Structure 1
């Protein structure tokens, strides 16, 4: 066997344009609204269930409250991450390159090929169109 075909990861970067920035900011805003809604829903649900549980078994209220608080902390961490992402994106200048999800490419390799060279591929995208291949 003189050759083999393998999948090699390729880094994908997007050039930040006004359009991409607006799209990403809109996605972040939508995620923030969803988290806020989920947090409000959790508070409403928790208050009702805690009051109901207090009537049935007072000892069970503390673990239930701790469970709701843990969920609330997790949601707050998500919200904080989205806010940090929004702040970071707002500070980026147009033309900056953003790392996106990597892709795979099929490569035929031979004995003696330089693996470092094969693993060094990159694709640059601008407004959804491939504008450059880099090695």
Structure 2
């Protein structure tokens, strides 16, 4: 796995960690209403979903981190597979976000485009 792929995969992991923390701990915060589209009266109703999506994002971030560790310090082939899977899953999930909620276009672009960069670097900059 080339250095650019690893760098952008690492950036993706950091972004997923940040978003996961926001989703778990700040989904009801009015400052993030435009990001999550959650009305104050709906916070209790969406709490379970917001917290689970946050946990999924953190899990994918940890997967990328574990994969990067494996690429550099353990089983390179398995590490590459883990990183590529986690990034590809986020690309598909970003597309799915836009399909299911058109108002979240910018969030969908962010979710899909950042993890697409390490995929492009890996497959086209060998």
TM-score (norm 2): 0.44
- Between structures 1 and 2, the one with greater helix share: 2
Q: Quick check: which one's strand share is greater? A: 1
